[in-house]
Amino acid sequence: MKTHTLLMPLDMHLHLRDGVMLENIAPLTAYSFSGAIIMPNLVPPVTTREDVIAYKERIMAAVPNDFFEPYMTLFYQNYTREFLEDVRDQITAIKLYPAGITTNSEGGVSSFDIETMRETLESMSALNIPLCVHGETDGFVMDREAEFMSIYELLAQNFPDLKIIMEHITTKAAVDMLEKYPNLYATITVHHLLITLDDVVGGMMQPHLFCKPIAKRPEDLDALLSVALEAHPKVMFGSDSAPHPKDKKESCGCAAGVFTAPIALQLLCEVFDQFGKLDNLQAFISDNAQSIYGICPEFKEVILENRPFTIPDSYSGVVPMYAGKTIEWAIENVE
């Protein structure tokens, strides 16, 4: 039976939530990943050194038996240089959300005035703190990411030494932007390598495929596949795995987020194998991220096997993507 080995898998965009959800969900990522960039959009958001330390302690308490490193982030505000110097040893990046654009982002940025942001972004550049960005406007839902490209250009031009990560890109426009500025990078989810908007609402509404940014057109999917499958050195895997209780997804006002944490590696193997690109998966899942972020993750070897695996209907009350569906790859062993 065919197997494939991955070393030190990294998830460079992960939601772990807090409380009981954190305790239930964190071990699922820690089992198969060496580390993950942890999103700071809690309620209230993670904005102080004390917040970062306390949240990391809660995460580590939830995964006491796994070799796993949570790479912590701050919720973007206009921080001073003095504050950033003090917190630098506790964080890997800072996450910027436009105000109200996604889950728990109400305290995000409401105006991209460069002069207002200059002290923070120049300090981040000098201290080598990457800026991770949820890149959407509040325009028409299918155009929100494409409309944000002008803001990425504004940031990239004004702060050329700032490493800017375009998070969970979904459009050909974002893929094209990678080549325009040397300081722009991107994460790509597994679900955006598999679905278009038609899969979400083309027939019966599929709430467990609904996320922000929403899945786009076939030509956008093709563009994402073109860089992911070749492990373009400026792209890396970030699941954007976003757990919500079943009753928050299967309800009026469906919460945005696709839960893929426990099945991401299996699905990625299936996608890369389908296109004959399994040899490139190591770079996409780990090597590129190590280079971009300058991190050295905990050693972990994950052996996957090309055999049928039926995705559970639920993980502690959270319904995963493709629940109940049988896929072609399974995790055989983790060392």
- Structural contact between residues 89 and 129, judged by C-beta atoms closer than 8 angstroms: no
Residue (of 23, 31, 22) closest to 67 by Cα position: 31
Q: Which residue's structure tokens are 């956008």?
A: 220
Q: Where are the beta strands (DSSP E) in 203-300?
A: 235-237
Contact (Cβ atoms closer than 8 angstroms) between residue 118 and residue 162: no
Residue of 240, 273, 279, 313 with catalytic role: 240
DSSP secondary structure code for residue 293 in this structure: H
User: What would the two tokens of residue 53 be?
Assistant: 């330390």
Q: Do residues 184 and 174 touch, judged by C-beta distance below 8 A?
A: no
Q: Does 66 qualify as catalytic in the annotation?
A: no
Radius of gyration (C-alpha) of the chain in whole angstroms:
19
Q: Are 315 and 25 in contact (CB under 8 A)?
A: yes
Give the residue numbers marked as catalytic.
240
